[in-house]
Structure 1
Amino acid sequence: MGLTQDPTFRATTFVVIDFETTTPTGYPAQPIEVAALAFRYAEGAWQETGRSESLIRPPAFAPVTPADTAQTGLTPEQLQQAPTPAEALGALDRRLTAGSTYLLVAQHAATEANVIRNQAEHCPKLARTDFLDTIPLAKHLIPGLPNYKLDTLLGHFGIPQPADRHRAAADVDVTAQVFRRLIGAADENAQFRDLAAVVKTAGRTAKFNLPVQAGLFDV
């Protein structure tokens, strides 16, 4: 039985997520845009089940800088009337259906995981959803690349660079394409017979799901 025949794999909705952020001195990265693309594998093909994108108005202590604009194309003026983090991330969080099984997917998942953790009060369901990271999965399945940056993986798979690379929706779309190619490779690899094997290689447990260690002097 291959990976895509695994009942757990088929029951899981994969949600590729990407944030654009601004990083103010002395504070964690603050989101200024989020996009997500959800899909499941059924009847031999990937089926999209939803997508979402939103600009996010950063707090006053985290203004969009010229460097941020150079990277993303987003300007302070564009974000003045954008939803707050509570509004944007709350709306995304409400799209996760109770009782369904989700895994978040990201390129260098630690970045997205940290943003979600720091915004957990606005998106408690997202904050308890584990991640798959495309980088360790790609390293295992495609050894020998010069690096495992997204642009390198796009080149390896022959996926065209989007015109608006470094915008959340564009990055989600191409990351989803990379992920599906990696799953295709894993499906042909005897080491990946089920989703548990993929998680073992590329999983990142949400910090809110980690056990809390008791202090040494708790009584």
Structure 2
Amino acid sequence: MVILEDPEFRAHTFVVLDFEALTPKGRPAEPTEVAAAAGSFRTGRWVETGRFSSLIRPPDDVPVTRFDVEQTGLTEEVLRTQAPAAQVMASLDGRLTAPPYRLVAHHAPTEAGLIARQHEHCPRLAATPLLCTVRLARIAYPELPSHSLNAVLHHLGIPLPADRHRALPDVEVTVAVFARLLADAAAAGHWSTLADLDRLGGLPPRHPPPGPADAAVQPSLF
């Protein structure tokens, strides 16, 4: 891939992430699960350097509906025993100790909103730009009538995971989609640098960068 010749692209670690969430009427979505896989393409292929996965206890006044259970299999009983979002997001944020990073998600505005509402607990995540694989897929595969994750997976011949709509399986297939997008659209001349990806499929962070953080005491998994 010609994009591998871009020093900025090669210098970055990409953190592919996904949330599952409840969508209570009249208020913002509340996360119930988050997963992330970090890696780079410095060798010409995706090399994973760390991953994170955790369930999240929703606020006590947000019910888990039958639709939520049918989609994810996560019941009220299971979720009420988990750590709250503040604790989980702080734990994930503590892994980001070796910048620079780009976050990657399918329909990244959803993930950006969830991160923004937790920004006090995850300042590194909240200050990191995102790449949206929906936006990139629209450039790479303009012939598709839909660029939903299922539609793109079908187009690329990537099997749907058995636990579709669980965070870690969705992260794993989004990694596969991202790798194919980079190769296919780079070959077609749509992008050759990280700056091109940012221009065509990027989202800026929702909050200003935080002050310097003491990363020395944090475990470096990413």
TM over 0.5: yes
> Match of 1:110?
109
> Match of 2:159?
160
> Match of 2:59?
59
Q: For the Cα contact (< 8 Å) 1:132–1:199, is it kept in 2?
A: yes
> Which amino acid letter does the alignment assign opposite residue 26 of structure 1?
G
Q: Deviations over 1:159-204 (max 9, x none)?
A: 0111100000111111111011001113313231211011100001
CA–CA separation in structure 1 for the residues paired with 2:52 and 2:19 = 12
Q: Secondary structure at the match of 2:188?
A: coil
CA–CA separation in structure 2 for the residues paired with 1:23 and 1:191 = 36
Shift of 1:126: 0.5
Tell me the percent identity: 50
> Which amino acid letter does the alignment assign opposite residue 164 of structure 1?
D
Farther-moved stretch of structure 1 (163-172 vs 180-189)? 180-189
Q: Secondary structure at the match of 1:208?
A: coil
Task: Number of aligned residue pairs: give it.
Answer: 209
Shift of 1:70: 1.0
CA–CA separation in structure 2 for the residues paired with 1:44 and 1:141 = 19
CA–CA separation in structure 2 for the residues paired with 1:142 and 1:25 = 34
Consecutive unaligned residues in structure 2, runs of 5 or more: 210-222
**Structure with larger Rg:** 1
Superposed counterparts of 1:36-185, under 5 Å: 36-98=36-98, 100-185=99-184
Consecutive unaligned residues in structure 1, runs of 5 or more: 211-219
Q: For the Cα contact (< 8 Å) 2:107–2:133, is it kept in 1?
A: yes
Shift of 1:44: 2.2
Q: Deviations over 1:119-167 (max 9, x none)?
A: 1111111111111001111111111101101000000110011110000
Q: For the Cα contact (< 8 Å) 1:24–1:61, is it kept in 2?
A: no
> Which amino acid letter does the alignment assign opposite residue 111 of structure 1?
T
Q: Which runs of 4+ in 1 moved over 4 A?
A: none
CA–CA separation in structure 2 for the residues paired with 1:97 and 1:189 = 35
Q: For the Cα contact (< 8 Å) 1:107–1:134, is it kept in 2?
A: yes
Q: For the Cα contact (< 8 Å) 1:17–1:37, is it kept in 2?
A: yes
Root-mean-square deviation over aligned CA pairs: 1.4
Q: For the Cα contact (< 8 Å) 1:4–1:187, is it kept in 2?
A: no
Q: Secondary structure at the match of 2:62?
A: coil
CA–CA separation in structure 1 for the residues paired with 2:29 and 2:84 = 15
CA–CA separation in structure 2 for the residues paired with 1:191 and 1:36 = 27
User: Is 1:33 matched up with 2:30?
Assistant: no
> Which amino acid letter does the alignment assign opposite residue 201 of structure 1?
L
User: Is 1:193 matched up with 2:192?
Assistant: yes
CA–CA separation in structure 2 for the residues paired with 1:31 and 1:63 = 12
CA–CA separation in structure 2 for the residues paired with 1:57 and 1:191 = 41
Shift of 1:25: 2.1
Shift of 1:207: 1.4
Q: For the Cα contact (< 8 Å) 1:103–1:129, is it kept in 2?
A: yes
TM-score under structure 2 normalisation? 0.91
> Which amino acid letter does the alignment assign opposite residue 80 of structure 2?
Q
Q: For the Cα contact (< 8 Å) 1:117–1:127, is it kept in 2?
A: yes
Q: Secondary structure at the match of 1:45?
A: coil
